[in-house]
A and B are shown apart, each in its own frame.
Chain A
Amino acid sequence: MIEQPVLERVLHTALSTGGDFAEVFAEDRQNGNGVLDDGRVEQLTSGRDRGAGIRVVVGDTTGFAHTADLSEEGLRTAATAASAAAREGGGGVREIALTRSDVPSPNDVQILPADVAKGDQVEILRRADAAARAAGGEISQVTASIGAGRKRMLVANSDGLFTTDDQVRTFLSVSAVATGDTGMQTGRKSIGHTIGWELFDRIDIEDFAGEAAQQAITKLRARPAPSGELPVVIGAGSGGVLFHEACGHGLEKDLVDKGASVYGGRVGELVASPLVTLVDDGTIAEEWGAFAVDDEGSPARRNVLIEDGILTEYMWDFLRSRKDGRPTSGNGRRQSYKHLPMVRMTNTFLEAGDTDPSAIISGTDHGVYVAKLGGGQVNTASGDFVFGMVEAYLIENGEITEPLREGNLIGNGPQCLRDIEVIGNDFAFGGPGTCGKDGQGVPVGDGCPTLRVGQLTIGGTAA
């Protein structure tokens, strides 16, 4: 993308009026996606986004500029702007010598999206549509979306670091609407992995689309969700988002340092049920948040955040780790070259326990079984979180009974972690997620075993 001597000269320019640190992050993204809606492949889209972001750090101040012009002149103009933004500084001149060191990617991409015939996208979309509609006469509408993106990036900084990564992400999602006497209900399935088009050799498109449709059909006979506090059993897989929200964000060191986390100053303390071991791991091959190096060039790592209920680690980006005089944890990420990096999760998951999942349900007298959680959000300062139940059922006398309409589930992170009563010996990663923080979205994975929380508040209308 950019030659090493050019990077060295650009970093030199960035620090020419002083500064403690300078970095060039450049990327070239190519995206292709197709959308089927209303029985018709509506459109294929191709996108190209290429550019570089340059930051200069002086003391606690960061100056940042970005450009879509990757010529030496364009990069030097951006470097000057970033340097002016950081200002101050005493005018020292530093020579930068880069040492290239690439980290092996955890992801083994077999079929690059660019090598796939566009007609293949259309065929998969058509199959998904047909299978969803075949699930039942109640299905009144289907949307399917397929796509792949390749992000080639490089990071070079004034510490001499020079590294690259090549990330390919491929996804499929199917949404169905079912119509009945009670109105309309929706179902949705999505899958995404940090691999190439071989994703579609591994899944049964018909089963996948059929499940989305079935979810919508089942909800037609759903009753309103209960209102109030109940025990909640969360199914293996998509419940990982609970931990992403309930405590993951609160372990991001930038929020901790600003006093905006309930977990500040609590390393070494028991913050969860001793059953809980929570991990953030960017090296899990093929998961949605997996990469070789983060967007600051640090290798992805496995970080155990909570071990047997005890808080062991926060997550760091470059600036926070430098300030704290420790290695980074590989959590410095950004949405694109137009954004500054910050502390972000990768693949966050709760490790499996030792109870048979069916025993968890049969051991619940009256409660709610959440088969699939939707998106959520957390107030890290208070720890209060909320997220959607996309597919949920009532548990009565130890058995899953009626389906429930959609609603939100709320709780408090630290309380919820203490209230985890039992953890299953199963485990699954959930669908691909996009985590939003301060206006930036990055791809993340999450996972969990089946588990029961003693009580959460269900935001339904039924008494």
Chain B
Amino acid sequence: MSTAGTSVEALQTIADRVAGLAEPGEQVEAYVSAGTSTDVDAYEGEIEALTQAGSAGIGVRVIKDGRTGFAWATSLDDGIIAETLAEARDNRPYAEPDAWAGMAEPDGVEPVALDVHRPEVLTMPVDDKVAMAIELERMVRDADPRVRGVRSASYHDAEGAFALATSSGIHAGGRTTAAYVSVSALADDGDASVIAGGYSVGRAPSELSLQEAADDAVSRLLAKIGSTKPESGEVTLVLEPRLTSTVLGIISGMLGGEAVAKSRSPFAERMGEQIGSSLLTIVDDPTNPDSPGAEPYDDEGLATRRVPLLKAGVLEGFLHNSYSARRAGTVSTASAARGFSTRPGISARALTVEPGAGDLESLVAKVDNGVLASALGGLHSGVNPVSGDFSVSVEGVRIRDGQRAEPIKEATLASTLQRLLLDISHVGADVEWQPGGTGGVTLLIPGVTLSGR
């Protein structure tokens, strides 16, 4: 593995060359990425597995007469790239004409200068990365006698670059690094066990805190011991910043321009209307260097920008890529997201809630009858972003008269996403950036159905 890292220039040369092969009347886009990664799993003081790997891929899109063809491959070999372009061309005539199909066009927006590449990921000796995983495992094991074992303790980092070129004049590229440690620990709880995890995320190993990851895992673990199934009833849900981020991620998906254009979002016809609590202002701002999701370009090669979504609960905007923007008669918000093996979709990168007042503790103190959730489960199965139905399993602690009471498990929380947004009664000021790029705050949401005994 080279300590110089992946060369954006080398990838850009490939992308430019492929885009340059466009024939008259044809648009060609090449998205090329490459990178390296290191993964360490520690178990009982030893390395269980150490993976060092490099990988690369290219995705080629061809559009002509409104018809799109796509092909991808996991090799940047000249012969394979030529085959991939040929395959995309071969697929094209089978698609049906779409007047809005097309590549992004240069729009004059300058990318912000963001430093999201840390050479340290490449220069740090592997032994030191291994030592971090082993140390993290030890810290958790030694933290408390009730910790029975560690299911996994891992270090991961990645360095990579992408380049994109289109025959419509887009040239964009960049490189990033990322690193994280994660750990999950076990404790006995009567006949059964409890398990909980913690993590720390950054752009480089030196930005990680083993202590924070270990403390997070151990405190969540110990808090679960003795959990019981609660009685059913209506409660105020307290979402800590981590879980607020998760819920916001689902809601931002409902604000994607493609879901809106294809009538798959309950918010499709609600522009300018009150869809959330007046306390709630949400923006997606990938130009904010504080967000782990900050990036200068989207995946169609447009400069990222600040996108207002909700202002005081009023729906102000949708997220667009160039396709959904053309369809809606507007301009892209540079929210295209993809890997080399998929066509551009739409995703928020750095959602943020405008801070309100108070932190987790001061907001818990305001709740007479509630649940402070520590984990939500079944988000992929019980939450439907088309109908808005929301039903999730919950672990956490009951709150009574502003105080934490007994820990709970084997329960569900239910409402609809539409109601959750409107019912928010307090928005905290405690912004915490999450690995997915979202800045969450503590939220209080009354009127949620808790199902248990």
Contacts and interface: CB of A to CB of B under 8 A. Distances in A.
Listed from nearest, the 10 A-B pairs whose CB atoms lie closest are A459-B412, A388-B381, A408-B382, A386-B378, A407-B391, A381-B195, A386-B393, A44-B91, A227-B451, A381-B193
Contact of B378 (A38, A229, A408): A408
A376 B378 CA distance: 6
| Chain A interface helix/strand/loop/mixed | strand
A41, A46, A340, A374, most chain B CB atoms within 10 A:
A46
A371 interface: no
B80 interface: yes
B73 A377 contact: no
Interface of A: 34, 37-38, 40-51, 59-68, 81, 85-86, 118-119, 121-122, 140-141, 177, 179, 183-186, 219, 225, 227-229, 255, 258-260, 262, 338, 340, 374-377, 379-384, 386-388, 405-408, 410-412, 438, 457-461
Given A48-B84, A50-B74, A85-B52, A228 B393 contact: no
A382 B194 contact: yes
Contacts of A41: 94-96
Contact of B46 (A60, A119, A387): A60
B53 A44 contact: no
A379 B391 CA distance: 18
A340 B126 CA distance: 19
B388 interface: yes
Given A47-B73, A141-B264, A381-B195, A410 B84 contact: no
Given A85-B52, A459-B412, 14 more contacts: A42-B98, A43-B68, A45-B70, A63-B50, A121-B94, A140-B263, A177-B263, A227-B232, A258-B152, A380-B195, A382-B189, A406-B391, A408-B381, A459-B392
Interface in B266-291: 266
Interface residues of B, number: 75
Contacts of A44: 69-70, 91, 94-95
Contacts of B382: 386-388, 406-408, 459
B55 interface: yes
Nearest to B69: A44
Given A406-B382, A459-B451, A64 B49 contact: yes
6 contacts: A43-B70, A45-B343, A67-B53, A119-B94, A219-B387, A259-B151
Contacts of A38: 261-262
Given A377-B377, A388-B381, A460-B451, A42 B55 contact: no
Interface of B: 43, 46-56, 68-75, 80, 83-84, 87-88, 90-91, 94-96, 98, 126, 148-149, 151-152, 186, 189, 192-195, 229, 232, 261-264, 266, 341, 343, 377-378, 380-382, 384, 386-389, 391-393, 409-415, 449, 451-453
B192 A45 contact: no
A42 B387 contact: no
Contacts of A60: 43, 46, 48
Given A68-B75, A228-B453, A340 B49 contact: yes
Given A119-B94, A260-B186, A338-B53, A384 B412 contact: no
B193 A46 contact: no
A25 B343 CA distance: 29
B453 A68 contact: no
A219 B96 CA distance: 31
